[in-house]
């Protein structure tokens, strides 16, 4: 009877490790997308800062940020050798913090929309890239 040889599986190739990360970032990217929809609803209707859609937009930002924080924690805990994923998820979280801060100021300083909206688009790109990168083998992007 021959002994089986076990090949160690690195954390980079274990699908379960990147699956949780990809799901969390995927949900965060859905949050970023919905933020645009909700903002469009209250901007289109010309509502004031006390409208229902403004409130939905604010709560959506909090949930999206929470998902990004959890995804970053997963990246640090389970994917730490995937430096690009750790850095990308930290950047996503920090970007969402900045985005939420600017969003809180937009009601009083409408000119900040010139930064708030393009930053949201950049965050969407990062949120789409991260789970795609998590599924690819380790190496240059």
Q: What is the pTM of this model?
A: 0.81
Please report the pLDDT score of residue 115 as a whole number. 95
User: For residue 1, what are the CA distances in angstroms to 4, 5, 7, 8, 107?
Assistant: 9, 13, 19, 22, 74
User: For residue 15, what are the CA distances in angstroms to 3, 6, 7, 75, 137?
Assistant: 26, 18, 16, 13, 11
Convert the pLDDT of each residue in 97-117 to its tens digit.
Answer: 999 999 989 888 989 999 999
When mean pLDDT is compared over 6-10, 11-15, 120-124, the highest value belongs to 120-124
| pLDDT score of 90 more than 50 | yes
| pLDDT score of 11 more than 70 | no
Convert the pLDDT of each residue in 25-82 to its tens digit.
Answer: 999 999 999 998 988 887 766 656 567 888 899 999 999 999 999 999 999 999 999 9
C-alpha–C-alpha distance, residues 1 and 99, integer Å: 62
For the purposes of burial, counting CB atoms within 10 Å of the CB of 90, is it exposed (0-12), middle (13-18) or buried (19 or more)?
Answer: middle
């Amino acid at each position: 009877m021959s002994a089986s040889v076990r090949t160690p599986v690195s954390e980079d190739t274990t699908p379960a490790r990147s699956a949780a990360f990809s799901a969390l970032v995927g949900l965060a990217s859905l949050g970023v997308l919905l933020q645009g929809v909700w903002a469009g609803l209250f901007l289109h209707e010309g509502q004031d800062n006390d409208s229902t859609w403004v409130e939905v937009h604010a709560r959506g930002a909090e949930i999206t940020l929470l998902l990004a924080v959890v995804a970053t924690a997963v990246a640090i805990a389970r994917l730490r050798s995937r430096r690009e994923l750790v850095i990308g998820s930290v950047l996503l979280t920090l970007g969402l913090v900045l985005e939420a801060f600017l969003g809180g100021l937009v009601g009083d300083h409408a000119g900040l929309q010139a930064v708030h909206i393009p930053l949201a688009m950049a965050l969407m790109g990062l949120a789409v890239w991260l789970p795609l990168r998590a599924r690819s083998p380790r190496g240059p992007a």
